Amino acid sequence: MANKKELRIGLIGCGFMGRTHSNAYNRIRNFFPELAYIPVLKAACARNEERVKAFAEQWNYESYETDWKKLIERDDIDAIDICTPNDTHAEIAIAAAQAGKMVLTEKPLARNVEEARKMVDAVEKAKVANTVWYNYRRIPAVSLAKQIIDSGKLGKIFHYRANFLQDWTISADLPQGGEGLWRMDANVAGSGVTGDLLAHCIDTAIWLNGSIKDVNAVTETFVKERMHQLTGKVEKVGIDDACIFHCHFANGSLGLFESTRYARGHKALYTFEINGEHASIKWDLHDLNRLEYFDHSDESRVRGWRSIHVTDGDQPYMDHWWVPGLGIGYEHSFIHQAADFLKSLETGEPCSPTFRDAFETQQVCEAVLESAASGSWKEIE
């Protein structure tokens, strides 16, 4: 495309997240034509040659690699996008930053604070653009919630409540680890629902309601032993299957968070509710274009919860899509993040959440796990 600057991307990992990010890059040029930068899909990378070749063809990558170290060495690539399991994020991100590449990584930033700290140091030392794909921030209704809160309409905030519920690990026959199951393996994932699901809730919460001061948590592992797909042996399960914590935010409000993979009937129910002095907000991933809003300053005869269908051109991101009334979906949150990253290269402003922003979420996750292990309150440093 004439007059466009190129952001040449090398993407690592061709699983679920590899697809969401690749889809985002492919759709940018049609739906965000005003951006100065366009993504150019230079290479996809994964260990299995047959799979990565097919992936590269399917998603329009010019080439493929089977060794991420080779990808990072290539001088026709500007940005490395990490869509691999959590145990590889730190090594790849640090090497990419040291090679002068921009780095985008799937959430959570890392398995733990120690890895995350090294990643933040690496991108900041190399002064390379970076972001973490906490995609739910960029659902228009969630972005609208942010605008409403920042405008002060809620007044003093008292409560922040969030849930992320799934049910896919209930069967005791499900192996831990192995193909498509790395989220079940504590060595690979770092933790269970805390790093995988609560990390989303914590990221959104910090974004909407500010820092978390301290936490008090309980975790449970309902199935204590599972067969490991790679070793074939029955081994102790190291992940948390469920986690509940409460907390204090720095603004004085109380937080209540719950996540589980044992809520029969729920596949990906992410909800949050915020109660302020003057108004409240709630949102539900299963009805993601809708924001529920209650404003106590409404005339009392007609006061009640408003159900805002966030599809209008003057609501966040929606001027890029169809016409008022027509909704968008999960995939669009990734397209919006890719667009915001490209925009950040134009403006020079960091694309939030940066590694440093996501470090705070990592600190909260670690404090949650430590609190659950010790049975006591844990402060966030």
Q: Which is nearer to ligand SOE, 65 or 196 (CB)?
A: 196
Tell me the closest approach of the beta carbon of residue 195 to ligand SOE, in angstroms: 9
Total number of residues that touch ligand SOE (CB under 6 A): 4
- The torsion defined by the Cα of 241, 243, 164 and 335, in degrees rounded to 10, comes to -80
Query: What order of strands is seen across the sheet that includes strand 157-165?
Result: 305-309, 290-295, 279-284, 269-276, 157-165, 254-260, 242-249, 212-220, 378-379
**CB distance 291 to 279 below 8 Å:** no
The whole-angstrom separation of Cα 170 and Cα 210 is: 34
The neighbour count for residue 329, using CB atoms within 10 Å, is 9
Tell me the closest approach of the beta carbon of residue 115 to ligand SOE, in angstroms: 18
Determine the residue with CB nearest ligand SOE.
196
268 lines the binding site for ligand SOE (CB under 6 A): yes
Give Cβ neighbours of residue 187 (< 8 Å, ≥ 6 apart).
87, 177, 238
Q: Which is nearer to ligand SOE, 130 or 333 (CB)?
A: 333
Side-chain half-sphere CA neighbours of 102 within 13 A? 23
The neighbour count for residue 268, using CB atoms within 10 Å, is 13
Q: Which is nearer to ligand SOE, 284 or 312 (CB)?
A: 284
Q: Which residue type, as a one-letter code, is found at position 287? A: D
Contact pattern from residue 145 through residue 184 relative to ligand SOE, giving x for each residue in contact according to CB under 6 A and a dash for the rest: ---------------------x------------------
3-state secondary structure of 167: coil
Tell me the closest approach of the beta carbon of residue 293 to ligand SOE, in angstroms: 24
Encoding tokens for residue 268?
Answer: 């990906």
Tell me the closest approach of the beta carbon of residue 75 to ligand SOE, in angstroms: 32
Binding to ligand SOE, residues 102-141 (CB under 6 A): none
Tell me the closest approach of the beta carbon of residue 6 to ligand SOE, in angstroms: 29
Q: Which is nearer to ligand SOE, 137 or 228 (CB)?
A: 137
Q: Which is nearer to ligand SOE, 112 or 166 (CB)?
A: 166
196 lines the binding site for ligand SOE (CB under 6 A): yes
Tell me the closest approach of the beta carbon of residue 139 to ligand SOE, in angstroms: 11
Please report, as ranges, the residues that interact with ligand SOE according to CB under 6 A: 166, 196, 200, 268
